[in-house]
A and B are shown apart, each in its own frame.
Chain A
């Protein structure tokens, strides 16, 4: 077990280095002089030179790369061009809001998808199954940047039940979480149905039924518990989609998280902050994937010996 976990951890290191390298190279993809692009065409040459020096762009590429990695190891991601504050400080300040939204969206997705997927599997081939799967396919197809404003119009403006935007009480969380969680709910419902169908065919479920166990008990206590392993993995793997979706949802609902910070910093051409946000989201994604992978190994011993 220890060897399996250690191996997974070591395999992640080159990916982390690759992610950092790609994020480092972003600033060098800017057409022309990055410092000029950040300050605008009208900026005086002295300001451009000063910014080049401040960002270390006057040094060789190798020196810049070494400084970037060195800073990263110490948690130093540079300074925001707009506010003059450390990038790490601004990101850490916004992190709780994004994680709160992501967790709420995943909870909404799980609460909606599980009953839908189970009902579709148990009533396979019936109207219930077709309706559940059509709804879930529609859920994947509806963009969250459309669903969000529609939900706001109905539940915030027309009915006045929930706030339109911002963060504060649990009521502020409902609309962003539902709009972000809808697509994940759709994917999870399809996965739950597929894994439930497989489990329902297994001999142990039929044996339980033959022993006189009721249908609902055979479904919930036996088939559903075992079908959870791949579903849990999918929840972990879909965390990345939730984080990306959060960029849009936070923009729509003025949710003060990292996604909104990213879009704002793109607008201000605050590239150190853009790099910091991208890096943090990617690193979080890698970490969640690693934990999911390890958890899968713990839950299913066959994975450890592959």
Chain B
């Protein structure tokens, strides 16, 4: 399954990078006479409510989904790793303050805080990325804090401390690398989560705004034409499900490879 996941993710990246360049249609070109037309040899995924090629829009939508995933996971894993290692290494008041902050953010279920933040900041791609990153770091910080608490008592870390290594060096060279496998697994699964979250926010009208093609926005607009033109909804939906499934397969496989304890249990 790991290989299937890797193949899906790789194919999606290639399609997102090269697809729009090799496509004969521009995602914003309109053929109004053919609006809502179903899949054909010329338009493989058919045309939408404004006569735009759905395949071209799905490919550009893949760029947005992957970009949101990469930025959100990149920012939240960096902040989370940094704050989690600080909380775990220093303990005491620092740990107490950071842990309480994490408790408060975790008291909001999943997407709810993102919905609230985008509602007040205004709907846009930037605000979606900002909201998801501000919430996403907590999961990484919790994970890294636990790993650091274990690692700081290890002999080689104590040896580094005895040799007079500086705190940034101990953290950067000795402690954080022990947490990286777990962070990598969480980041891979987090890509799927971020892609789903962006699509959900865009579906609710709180994310990417038209005419920019986003899978969530395409699903939202397609819903009005579900009876006469279900292809408007089917293709962006398949795109989301397959890409998220790819990241979930890959994340699951990585966890099995990097954490033998998890493999034993699942």
Q: Which residues of A contact B (CB under 8 A)?
A: 14-15, 18-19, 22-23, 26-27, 29-31, 134, 137-138, 140-143, 145-146, 149-150, 152-153, 157, 190, 193-194, 197-198, 239-241, 243-244, 247-248, 251-252, 262-263, 266-267, 271, 274, 278, 281-282, 285-286, 289
Indicate the member of A143, A157, A244 with the most B CB atoms within 10 Å.
A143
Task: Provide the bound-state CA to CA distance between A138 and B108, in Å.
Answer: 26
Contact of B120 among A27, A134, A193, A248 (CB under 8 A): A27
Indicate the member of A14, A146, A153 with the most B CB atoms within 10 Å.
A146
B107→A15 contact, CB < 8 A: yes
List the A residue with the shortest CB-CB distance to B233. Answer: A149
Q: Chain B: how many interface residues by the 8 Å CB criterion?
A: 46
With A18-B103, A26-B116 given, name 8 new contacts (CB 8 A): A14-B100, A15-B107, A19-B108, A244-B110, A247-B115, A263-B204, A274-B120, A285-B109
List the B residue with the shortest CB-CB distance to A286. Answer: B107
Contact of A146 among B104, B112, B237 (CB under 8 A): B237
A141→B233 contact, CB < 8 A: no
A145→B112 contact, CB < 8 A: no
List the A residue with the shortest CB-CB distance to B122. Answer: A31
Measured between beta carbons, the chain B residues less than 8 angstroms from A247 are: 111-112, 115, 204
Given A153-B226, A197-B265: A143 touches B233 (CB 8 Å cut-off):
no
Total residue contacts A-B, CB cutoff 8 A: 134
Given A143-B200, A153-B230, A271-B120: A194 touches B265 (CB 8 Å cut-off):
yes
For the complex, is B137 an interface residue (Cβ under 8 Å from A)? no
For the complex, is B45 an interface residue (Cβ under 8 Å from A)? no
Question: Among B9-17, B77-85, B170-178, B245-253, which stretch is in contact with chain A?
Answer: B245-253
B121→A29 contact, CB < 8 A: yes
B206→A266 contact, CB < 8 A: yes
B109→A141 contact, CB < 8 A: no
List the A residue with the shortest CB-CB distance to B244. Answer: A141
Contact of B223 among A19, A143, A149, A278 (CB under 8 A): A149
For the complex, is B227 an interface residue (Cβ under 8 Å from A)? yes
Contact of B104 among A19, A157, A194 (CB under 8 A): A19
Q: Which residues of B contact A (CB under 8 A)?
A: 1, 100-101, 103-104, 107-113, 115-117, 119-122, 192, 196, 199-200, 203-206, 216, 219, 223, 226-227, 230, 233-234, 237, 240-242, 244-245, 248-249, 252, 265-266
Task: Provide the bound-state CA to CA distance between A14 and B122, in Å.
Answer: 29
- State how many angstroms separate the Cβ of B264 from the closest Cβ of chain A: 9
Measured between beta carbons, the chain B residues less than 8 angstroms from A267 are: 205
B241→A138 contact, CB < 8 A: yes
Task: Sort A-B residue pairs by CB-CB distance and give the 4 closest, nearest first.
Answer: A240-B109, A18-B104, A146-B237, A141-B245
- State how many angstroms separate the Cβ of A24 from the closest Cβ of chain B: 12
Task: Provide the bound-state CA to CA distance between A18 and B119, in Å.
Answer: 20
Task: Provide the bound-state CA to CA distance between A194 and B100, in Å.
Answer: 31
Measured between beta carbons, the chain B residues less than 8 angstroms from A150 are: 233-234, 237
Measured between beta carbons, the chain A residues less than 8 angstroms from B226 are: 149, 152-153
- State how many angstroms separate the Cβ of B229 from the closest Cβ of chain A: 11
- State how many angstroms separate the Cβ of A211 from the closest Cβ of chain B: 27
B265→A198 contact, CB < 8 A: yes
Task: Provide the bound-state CA to CA distance between A286 and B104, in Å.
Answer: 10
Given A15-B104, A248-B203: A26 touches B120 (CB 8 Å cut-off):
yes
- State how many angstroms separate the Cβ of A102 from the closest Cβ of chain B: 11
Task: Provide the bound-state CA to CA distance between A244 and B116, in Å.
Answer: 11
Chain A to chain B contacts (Cβ below 8 Å), 20 pairs: A15-B103, A19-B107, A22-B113, A29-B120, A134-B1, A137-B252, A141-B196, A141-B244, A146-B241, A149-B226, A150-B237, A194-B266, A240-B109, A240-B110, A248-B203, A248-B204, A267-B205, A278-B108, A278-B115, A285-B107
